[in-house]
Structure 1
Amino acid sequence: MHRRIGGQWHCRNCVAKFRALPCSRCGVVREPAIRDEHGQPLCPYCLIIDPANQEACRSCGRHRPVSVRTPDGPLCATCRPTKTMTCAICGRQTPCVISKTTGQPWCRACTKRWARCSSCDEAGPIYGGTRAEPLCGACTRPDTSFWRACPTCGHTGRVHQSGPCARCTLDQRLQELLRDNTGQTRPELQPLHRNLLTVEQPATVLVWLGKNTAASLVRELATGSRPLTHAALDELADTKPLRHLRSVLVATGALPARDEHLARLERWITRTIAERPDPDQQQLLHRYAVWHVLRRLRRRLGDTHASYHQAAGAQQHVKAAAILLDWLAAHNLTLVTTTQGDLEAWLADEETTHHSAAGNFVRWASKQKLTNLDFPTVRWSGPSVVIDTETRWDHARQLLHDDTLKPEDRVAGLLVLLYTQWPATISRLTLDHVDAAEHEVRIRLGHEPVILPEPLATLVRQVVATRRGHATIGDHGSSPWLFPGGQPGRPISAYRLGQRLHQLGIRPGQARSTALFQLATDLPAALLARMLGIHIDVAVAWQRASSGDWANYAAHVSRRIDP
């Protein structure tokens, strides 16, 4: 018993509940830790984060609550020294603390780790076991009296916290945000509520909803002050939090899916045209950007979505046209009055940029009879990078046999090194592109599937079985992508995939050129196009560059005289 109240003894928890008052700062009903200068109660959390109670950490210099004082000065919780020991879970020699559950050391990374328990198959925080066979709290220590139970749902598994568990707290927070003025949740937002409430790590959603941007937007959508449409979200600044919220809404079915790269390109073109001061330039740029660049991109895409590089390439063409028009306006010129010498002067000007991309605009204007300028194209004469076959095979052998590397990185790297695929193409592969039969694995990169040899086939099977992106909100493992990304329902970006390959020492552009150069030497162009998904003109150009022109070989054979 802790203290006598009203003539009866009460435990510490009941005393805290009896003394609970709304905090004057955060509003949480909790036992006050102290009262401020006005006599108002402050909860322990607000007392700790009060700037008056924080000091500059001697190590990192940040103003934070003092965790420990040393002869040299105060240290925060992050910089507080911990003893280096062998973690009982991951086995690393690293700073560790002693676990109250097992009495053994565990590192900071393992204290925050979530995984699926190898014993009960439940996903949650890991308290014991090993990295290969993790165990949840209940399986690590079956003694139910050791764990604190949630007063709302009765779930056990916590050592310190005595209030509602993270999932119950999340449910309450979602109800506060998603209910409209009538106290009901809109039907189109109910899947969002269910999806967020059933994520494996509810604490992650709580942190996300704790950010003002996400919470305020969700509240606006719930109350109807902002319509739940893509157009309404497009009115806001295109920030990362907004992109993530949009992807969550799309993944949960609250918003229909759309081509985000193409939509952002269209908005950028609209803004760029509207910023032109000259109405004639606005009309000209609109004709070029909308009716030529965008139209050609849509025709090329068909039913697929644009990649980042495709949208960026179209944006560069429009930007180059705007730069050239600005230069002409600064020199009191138009497309009609500009001479070839003026164009050559612009190309020779070192202060101007986007010279190559502007050629597409000049050729379009000439075709539309808007100018007499001539801007010839440059024919591709072969690869400009070094064709290093030995390095290519060294990387391939490493990816095939180094089991310490991630399977998804090994598969992506081998698709570049052996099958000449761009990271943008690899990132957009789905499960439908892979046919994992009992005795063989096929992958469809072009019109015809390719049979994968071992051990690449085994690696692809492993990626299909264990694929998992970094998105913990709005994605319950139902992603169709072979390489899921950080946003729910989206694949890994080509840029991020390229970064991961760079970390392995693979330069995707150079590696692809080397592979394509060698394959074009050995295979006919038609076969390359069908199997690898490249255009027939590209295959023919590479075949000629590699001196493996099968058409010349066929003509030579036809001219032979039989003995």
Structure 2
Amino acid sequence: MASGQVPISHEGVNRFPQSRRVNYFRQLLVSSGTLPPIDVRLNEFEIYAKSFLAALPPSNAAILGRYHRWHVLRRLRQQSTLEPLSQAVLDKRRGDLRAFSAFLSWIDAQGVSLATANQGHLDYFVANVGTGNNALSAFVSWACANGHAFGIEVPINKRFSPAAAMSADELWQAVDHLLVDETIEMAARVAGLFILLYAQPLAACVRLRRSDVVLTDQGVAVRFASEPIQLPDSVAQLVRRYLEMPSGRAIYRNSETNWLFGGLLPSSRVTAAHLGRIVSGAGVPPRLAKEAAMRQLATSLPARVVADAIGVSVGTASRWSRMSGGTWNDYPGLR
């Protein structure tokens, strides 16, 4: 690029073998204003998908390519206009591509095509060979709707567990632990408390911005949904300390970065996977803690209050309330 052999553009950066160093270099160019912002993870996924499809047999590449362009990529681009896509989402899409390719290869090995495969073929594959039935169901439904397959379908696995795997006593013990243990990384303490007290999933935590934290003379509030929630004093003090700390992760940081949990790359947020690791390392299993918190909230408050406060749908809050036996008792910081 310095010699002019490669243009200083995202297309130019795409010419290099993609790696963490190249990704970091791209982020530096974006943060400095040399290149316009793009969803870097989505760009990497598009490069991966193009290379992956090019290596498939032509007939399989043609079908998967159409599905990828018109069903997967179109939706990802729409989502990306609202917020950057998470690494977990795109890793899932990579896995889906590999699963669809494995399905088509298996169909070929049976001496049939997707157009001539019957329900018996599909049932055998689902029961004995494949994984990720929900994703495969979407692909098969698309194939049938677009004339690439006929009369086959994949049953969707639906799971919902209202039971709290963490007891109320364990939840409050974990809260106390995060409030007092100064050996725990501050980001893990703050995120863990948001999960334990307000049932925030990791994906929601990493989307929080510093501007979502409202500091006043009366205390600290956090905007998890439409309205800020006033934090209990002990939690508020911890959040204030966290905001005053310099970031220890990023090597280069743009002054305009506004993520509450900043990432290692310039102007980036932490990934949900990394935040999950440090929260788990602090003794708080994120999924179990979120379910326990949701159970506590659902038994203490009306569904509408829960939905408005923590950013879940009224239907989800109502379902947890019914299955948990709601009583609308008091809950810290929400009533």
Question: Residue type matched to 1:252 in 2?
Answer: S
Task: Kindly indicate whether residue 116 of structure 2 is the aligned counterpart of residue 341 of structure 1.
Answer: no
Deviation of residue 391 (structure 1)? 1.8
Higher Rg: 1
Alignment length, in residue pairs? 327
Kept in 1: contact 2:219–2:233 (CA 8 A):
no
**Contact kept? 2:301, 2:327, Cα under 8 Å:** no
Q: Deviations over 1:482-535 (max 9, x none)?
A: 122222211222222111112111111111111112222223333333221224
Instruction: Identify the match of residue 503 of structure 1 among 281, 289, 314.
Output: 281
After superposition, the C-alpha distances for 1:235-263 in whole angstroms (9 at most, x for unaligned) are 21111111111122222112222111211
Counterpart of 2:239 (choices 460, 463, 466) is 460
Does structure 2 conserve the Cα–Cα contact (< 8 Å) formed by 1:517 and 1:543? Answer: yes
CA contact (8 A) 2:165 2:288 kept: yes
Measured in 2, the distance between the counterparts of 1:397 and 1:456 equals 10
What amino acid is aligned across from residue 519 of structure 1 in structure 2?
A: L
2:262 equivalent to 1:484: yes
Alpha-carbon offset, residue 290 of structure 1: 1.9
Distance in 2, Cα, partners of 1:298 & 1:332 = 36
Task: Name which of 232, 256, 279 aligns with 2:36.
Answer: 256
8 A Cα contact 1:469 1:485, kept in partner: no
The 5-angstrom pairing of residues 282-361 of structure 1 reads: 282-350=61-129, 352-361=130-139
1:397 aligns with 2:176: yes
C-alpha distance in structure 1 between counterparts of 2:145 and 2:324, whole Å:
34
Q: Tell me the residue number matched to 1:127.
A: none
Name the counterpart of 1:240.
20
The percent of aligned pairs where both chains have the same amino acid is 31
Distance 1:263 1:549 in 2: 48
Q: Is the 8 A contact 1:467 1:483 kept in 2?
A: no
The alignment partner of 1:530 has SS state of helix
What secondary structure does 1:441 align onto?
strand
Q: Distance in 2 between matches of 1:324 and 1:491?
A: 35
8 Å CA contact 1:471, 1:486 repeated in 2: yes
**Alignment equivalent of 1:267, drawn from 14, 23, 47:** 47
1:518 aligned to 2:300? no
Q: TM-score, normalised by structure 2?
A: 0.88
Residues 323, 232 of structure 1: CA spacing in aligned structure 2 closer, same or farther, 3 A cutoff?
Answer: same
Instruction: Letter of the 1:305 partner, please give it.
Output: P
Question: What residue is the counterpart of 2:201 in the other structure?
Answer: 422
Specify whether residues 313 and 520 from structure 1 end up closer, same or farther in structure 2 by C-alpha distance, changes over 3 A only: farther
Structure 1 pair 275/540, CA: closer, same or farther in 2 (3 Å)? farther
Contact 1:381–1:545 (Cα < 8 Å) also in 2: no
**Structure 2 counterpart of 1:390, which letter?**
D
Change (3 A) 1:538 1:309: farther
Greater relative CO (CA pairs within 8 A, separation 6+): 2
Computed over aligned residues only, the root mean square deviation of the Cα atoms, in angstroms, reads 2.4
Q: Deviations over 1:374-426 (max 9, x none)?
A: 22223334247724332221111111233443432211110111111222321
For the pair 1:371 / 2:179, whether they are aligned, the reply is no
Q: Look up the match of 2:140.
A: 362
Distance of 1:498 and 1:235 partners within structure 2 = 33
- Matched residues in 2 for 1:340 and 1:465: separation? 60
Q: What SS class does the counterpart of residue 238 from structure 1 fall into?
A: coil
CA distance in 2: counterparts of 1:446 and 1:502, whole angstroms: 24
CA contact (8 A) 1:483 1:491 kept: yes
Q: What runs of 5+ residues in structure 1 fail to find an aligned partner?
A: 1-220, 551-563
Q: Which amino acid aligns with 1:518?
A: Q
Runs of 4+ in 1 over 6 A off after TM superposition: none
The question of 1:534 aligning with 2:312 is answered: yes
In structure 2, the residue matched to 1:440 is 219
| Secondary structure, aligned partner of 1:482 | coil
- 2: distance between equivalents of 1:455 and 1:488? 31
Task: State the AA in 1 paired with 2:5.
Answer: S
Distance 1:536 1:307 in 2: 25
d(CA) in 1 for partners of 2:156 and 2:325?
A: 23
TM-fit CA distance, 1:233: 0.9
Which of the two has greater helix per residue? 2
Unaligned stretches of 5+ in structure 2? 329-335
